[in-house]
Amino acid sequence: MPRLRLALNQIDSTVGDIDGNAESVLRWTRHAAGQGAHLVAFPEMVLTGYPVEDLALRSSFVEASRAALRSLAARLAEDGLGGVPVVVGYLDRSATAQPRYGQPAGAPQNAAAVLHGGRVALSFAKHHLPNYGVFDEFRYFVPGDTLPVVRVRGVDVALAICEDLWQDGGRVPAARSARAGLLLSVNASPYERDKDDTRLELVGKRAQEAGCTTAYLAMTGGQDELVFDGDSIVVDRDGTVLARAPQFTEGCVVLDLDLPAAETEPPTGVVDDGLRIDRVVLSEQPAPGPAAGPWLSGGHAEPLDDDEEVYSALVVGLRAYVGKNGFRSVLIGLSGGIDSALVASIACDALGARHVYGVSMPSRYSSGHSRDDAAELARRTGLNYRTVPIEPMFDAYTGALELTGLAEENLQSRLRGTLLMALSNQEGHLVLAPGNKSELAVGYSTLYGDSVGAYGPVKDVYKTSVFRLAEWRNRAAAARGQTPPIPEHSITKPPSAELRPGQVDTDSLPDYPVLDAILALYVDGDRGADEIVAAGYDRELVTRTLRMVDTAEYKRRQYPPGTKISSKGFGKDRRLPVTNRWRESG
């Protein structure tokens, strides 16, 4: 069997930074070639970043991507790398598609190309276009209609892009019909909790369907609310894992594969799903066998446990958002509570404590222990800390305007929001909103108060998970002989907004374990009221909870973006009208 040394570059890219992304491709190709790679691959749309959203509809951006691809091919050859085939994802447009009603103008395509010998040797577009969750690819792209096959060192390699593996049919059975020796899929599949298990099962299943070794190359890093966790996988034709890359880590997986030699007269024409085989021969001669050097196995990273995985996603998401948007520091209002404490811990891990600024803003209702907990958090983490009481501002407002009840309570929150934004303007910090998914779901927040900020790191994390992640982070620190960052009292005390004497969250909300269980069914599972009651929950409680969720949509629309970790995050995943008289609660 011919030996193929495959290099999978699990890297990050930035949307719109075509020049910077091209430089990354050059740098990582040079690294892979230095390890003797015969075929080098990069993730989906690595040249433009992913997802490009409405940039795909700008002809200037499409043409910039196409020009950069050609330039990259020439630069690889100039650097002495022209003999190594390089698979690169980019944004293209169809040269043959006629404009049709319902198709995006200009016929953009989510495409990939094989660069070799200073030119584009082969290009193809994604066949299956996802249109669910965060994906709107029918809005942006037209599909490809070929099965691309490139012959490298005597091995026929079939190529696919992300959803081509996630959906049944198409390029997977077509790869079997073409009798490919390797199926290589380049991907930018966003992270979701527990997706690593689903991905592993999927790749193994597709390898068996394709009848050949299958390599799944994934992107890592972050883009706006999306996080990409890497976890690239290579399995043999039976689904046995040959190599697996670490999660949330940039790197190059290089491994040797013994693969079937390409047939002298391979299949041609149209195969499964109407795909036409588009085969390009780059090198017929097999690579030298075992005597040429040591076998490279690529490594086998164990997946992270559930809490470490979610926490890592939150760290990577925040780091990417801050860095890619040109900020160097963040600002957090520290109340002494669990939400701001977890956000501060995430920020310190993402950016380093010296780039994190915390401010305590006590009012007349702030307890002494809350002030102490905020100060203790700052001491443990080493973040920059100050105290600015809001009492004088509160007195000035109430002296000019008589407020009572909820209006008086919310004024305190809004004063804190104004103070945070003023410091942001003055000092250039990016403000982080500490709200969690439970609060966002039921509207338990104050517009222009605790909801202010440019990014919400725990926006997609239910309150019960906030506690669990805080406990995990402290355990992880203790296991490493470090000081746990989050004060124990912030974890154990009853949650409270402290806007009136003796206030606790359960004055207004059900206990969080019950609330989160109902929300998971309604928000994430799209279950109706009757189904939730049938699952064992009190009807009056379900009715009240669902009513709170339904009437809080206008607040959620005004909340900042935040890291997505679930299959149904608020925003792109869950889109409901603000003006809406339909009520599941009757």
pLDDT in tens, 25-60: 999 999 999 999 999 999 999 999 999 999 999 999
pLDDT at 292: 57
Tokens at 481, concatenated = 């002989």
Catalytic residue among 63, 137, 162, 348: 162
Question: Would you give the distance in Å from CA 149 to the centre of its chain?
Answer: 30
Catalytic residue among 53, 63, 126, 225: 126
Q: CA 94 to CA 141: how far, in whole Å?
A: 9
pLDDT at 402: 87
Tokens at 219, concatenated = 């992107």
Phi, psi of 4 (to 5 degrees): -120, 125
pLDDT at 435: 94
Q: CA 498 to CA 316: how far, in whole Å?
A: 31
Do 367 and 497 contact (CB within 8 A), yes or no? Answer: no
Parallel/antiparallel/unpaired status of strands 3-10 and 39-41 = parallel
**DSSP states along 160-174:** EETHHHHSSSTHHHH
pLDDT at 104: 74
Phi, psi of 14 (to 5 degrees): -120, 130
In sequence order, the 6+-apart residues with CB closer than 8 A to the CB of 62 are: 56, 91, 92, 93, 106, 108
Cα–Cα distances in Å, from 342 out to 16, 422, 427, 458, 523? 32, 23, 23, 8, 23
In sequence order, the 6+-apart residues with CB closer than 8 A to the CB of 511 are: none
Q: Which residue has the tokens 């997977």?
A: 172
The number of helix segments (H) and strand segments (E) in the chain equals 18, 19
pLDDT at 439: 94
Beta bridge partners of 180: none
Q: CA 394 to CA 206: how far, in whole Å?
A: 62
Do 289 and 233 contact (CB within 8 A), yes or no? Answer: no
Q: CA 74 to CA 451: how far, in whole Å?
A: 49
Tokens at 553, concatenated = 């949509």
126 is a catalytic site residue: yes
Do 280 and 121 contact (CB within 8 A), yes or no? Answer: yes
Collect contacts of 28-31 with beta carbons under 8 A, ≥24 apart: 28/252, 29/76, 29/81, 29/84, 29/86, 30/79, 30/81, 31/252
pLDDT in tens, 286-317: 877 654 568 888 888 988 999 999 999 999 99
Q: CA 444 to CA 437: how far, in whole Å?
A: 10
44 is a catalytic site residue: yes
568 is a catalytic site residue: no
AA letter at 83: G
pLDDT at 299: 87
Q: What is the pTM of this model?
A: 0.92
Tokens at 147, concatenated = 């099965």
Q: CA 144 to CA 129: how far, in whole Å?
A: 9
pLDDT in tens, 70-90: 999 999 999 999 999 999 999
Residues of the chain falling short of pLDDT 50: 291
Q: CA 62 to CA 93: how far, in whole Å?
A: 7
Do 57 and 103 contact (CB within 8 A), yes or no? Answer: no
What is the side-by-side order of every strand in the sheet holding 384-387? 384-387, 356-360, 330-333, 430-431
Q: Helix or strand or coil: residue 350?
A: helix
Helix, strand, coil shares of the chain, percent, nearest 5, are 40, 20, 40
